[in-house]
Every structure is written in structure tokens, then in C-alpha cells.
Amino acid sequence: MPSRASGVGFLGGGTATQAIHIPVLATLPDRFKVVSVMSPDPRVATEVAGRCGAKASTREQDVMDDPAVEIVAICSPNAIHARQVIAACEAGKKLVFCEKPLAVTRAEAEEIDRAARASGTPIVVGAMHAYDPAYRAAQAIWAEAEDQADFIQAAIFLPDNDVFVNQATDLLLSSRAQGGGMPAYDPGLRRRFMESLILGLAIHDIPLVRDFYPSVGTVLSSRFIRPFGYSIAMTSRAAQAELLAVPPGTWPADWRLRVMGRRHELTASFPPSYVLAGSARVAISRAQGTMIFEERLSGYEVMWSHIGDVVQGEAVPQIGLETLLDDFAFAMDLVDSLDTLSEIQE
């Protein structure tokens, strides 16, 4: 048990910070203390920081310079993730947590690699499903059996996130984030939307898909589903894989992974991101019968406990830097494939 709580400083005070990470850290008061919240909107910074007795700031450098901040938690817009990860490494922080995606270009990923190796700073990416305790237990059974996966499908059917955000927190939005909505559809935006969806949504499932399907292989088709869904099919010499997301509707949340092998079938049903509803419910079916895995803790809770262990020197990162970069490279291979397909269908 650590002798004191590690200080956490947030870069970004939006939905992920308010609805996911601060509530999780509140369940671990002996391990973490939120000491700083930075948002470019002073109202958000002040009110969110006030909820947890932290300092408020509109300047990210204040977080980097604060000696009480041992862990920098990056929950900012995707386009500035890489710059902030590198700055936190160079500031000598004990650990950098970054929400997905780690970067948005291959060049940024290479710069992160150099900065992290030079500083020795551990990096954790918020792939909550990769830390889900029920999934990890079931995946270990599969790995021990050394079965070959023939088909992998990661499917996301979600209502509007607001349904779950409103259950999790009294969300305070920046004035910069209010209003607007999805722009009018234009065929010229199709590739841009698909890239955004790969790096913003599909990337949640890539670490899990790669447990069974390590590289992209050949992308057979990429379909854009209005207003912001996708269907991506790929094949390798040994298996086929599909990534699917259907736009928000009135149906219940259904976030699933299905893996069919020669001797086993694994199915995992994950809870929504914005509520602490425990682990996935995972089943492995085989000749001997079906094994069910379900745990009390969510992937985010397990992830933050693991972060505490790493910061206290009691563990090394469960998902190393090389694996994080390989996960990102998989996503970028999907992005690059958009340029080689004759048409991104709709």
C-alpha cells in the first residue's frame, strides 16, 4: 500500500475527465489526489477543479511546472495529444496517461517513442477494454490453448453518449464545445470522417483485435455509415476481421467482441464507457463446456490501480511502449488503406 497519494494533473477538463477519470480516482483516495485541472475555458477549469479540491489553470505549462503533479493525464483534443505527451516526458513526470489516440500521425508516434525512451517515462493509453479483468482472464485461457482465430469481429452499437454521461456526472461543457452538431454531409468529407472514426472510435478495439489478429493484412472494404459509423473488412493469410460501428439510435448499448477459432469461441460484451458498471461479461465456449468471466471492477478502475503500482515502482506497464506503438501503427495502416481503395463506399 503506498504511503501517500500520487498527484494527478489533468490537461483537459471535458467529458472524459469529468465523467470517467475523476470518478474513478475518487474510488482510490489512498492512491491518487487530483491536484490540478487545466482547461482553456476558465469556467470549466475553475468549477471542475473545485469539485475535487484541485488548482485550476488555463495554461498547460502550469501543470508541467507543478512539482505536485507526478502523473499528467491528457484528456485534450486528439490533435494535441502527442505534443503534450512529449512535453510531459521532458518535464520529468513519473508517468503520462493519454486518452486514445496516442497520436494522429506516424511522425508524431516516432517523436513520442524518442521522448519516452530518452526520459524513461512510462506511458499508459486509455484503452479501457484492454485492462478489463474479465476479458484478460478469458484471453489468457485462449492464449494458453494456442487456438487459431479464424474470424474476429469488434462491433459497437451505441445510443448517444449523453445517455450515459448524464448518469455518470453533472457535466459542465465548455462554451467552445456547445452548439453546432454534425456538419452537412458532403462526399468530399468521407475520407476525413473515416480517418477520424478509425482514430477516435475503432481504436478502442484495436488492442483486443490484435490479440488475435496482429496485423491489418489486406483491407477488403471500408464503408462509411451516416452520420458517423463504419464497416471495415480485412483479411490475412490465416483469418478475417471486421470492425463495425452503427450510428447512435434508440437501441440499448451493445459493445461486443467475437472471436471464432478452430476449437474455441470467445464473446465479450462490454459496459458503456461512462458508467462504472463493472467488467465485461465474457464467455469462452469449447468442447468441455462454456466458461463465464465477470468481475466487479471495470477496465478503467483496473487501469488506474495499475498506474498507481507503476508510479510506486511496484510494477512495470502491463502494455509496453512497443505494443502501444504497434497498436497505433495498426490504426494508421487502416487510415492509409483509405487511399488505396478505389472507393470508400457508403
Domains and CATH numbers, the chain: 6-127 (3.40.50.720), 129-176+188-298+318-340 (3.30.360.10)
- What the block records as the C-alpha cell of 234 is 480485412
pLDDT band at 330 (very low <50, low <70, confident <90, very high): very high
pLDDT of residue 297 exceeding 80, the answer is yes
Cα–Cα distance between 266 and 142 in angstroms, integer? 8
Work out whether the CA dihedral 267, 272, 277, 279 comes out positive or negative. positive
pLDDT of residue 17 exceeding 90, the answer is yes
pLDDT band at 188 (very low <50, low <70, confident <90, very high): low
pLDDT band at 214 (very low <50, low <70, confident <90, very high): very high
pLDDT of residue 65 exceeding 80, the answer is yes
pLDDT of residue 163 exceeding 50, the answer is no
pTM metric for this prediction:
0.89
Q: What mean pLDDT is predicted for residues 109-131?
A: 97
Cα–Cα distance between 91 and 115 in angstroms, integer? 11
- Could you tell me which of 61, 84, 69 has the C-alpha nearest to residue 7? 69
pLDDT of residue 341 exceeding 70, the answer is no
Beta strands in the chain (DSSP E): 6-11, 32-38, 55-57, 71-74, 95-98, 123-125, 149-157, 218-225, 229-235, 240-246, 254-261, 265-270, 281-286, 289-293
Residues in the chain, overall count: 346
Distances (CA, A) of 246 to 80, 155, 205, 279: 27, 8, 15, 23
Percent of the chain with pLDDT over 70: 88
pLDDT of residue 169 exceeding 70, the answer is no
Q: What is the DSSP letter of 21?
A: I
pLDDT band at 94 (very low <50, low <70, confident <90, very high): very high
pLDDT of residue 148 exceeding 60, the answer is yes
Beta-carbon neighbour count of residue 330 at 10 Å?
21
Beta-carbon neighbour count of residue 160 at 10 Å?
12
* Beta-bridge partner residues of 245: 156, 230
Q: Do 6 and 33 meet the contact criterion of CB atoms below 8 Å apart? A: yes
> Looking at residue 186, what is its pLDDT?
60
> Looking at residue 164, what is its pLDDT?
36
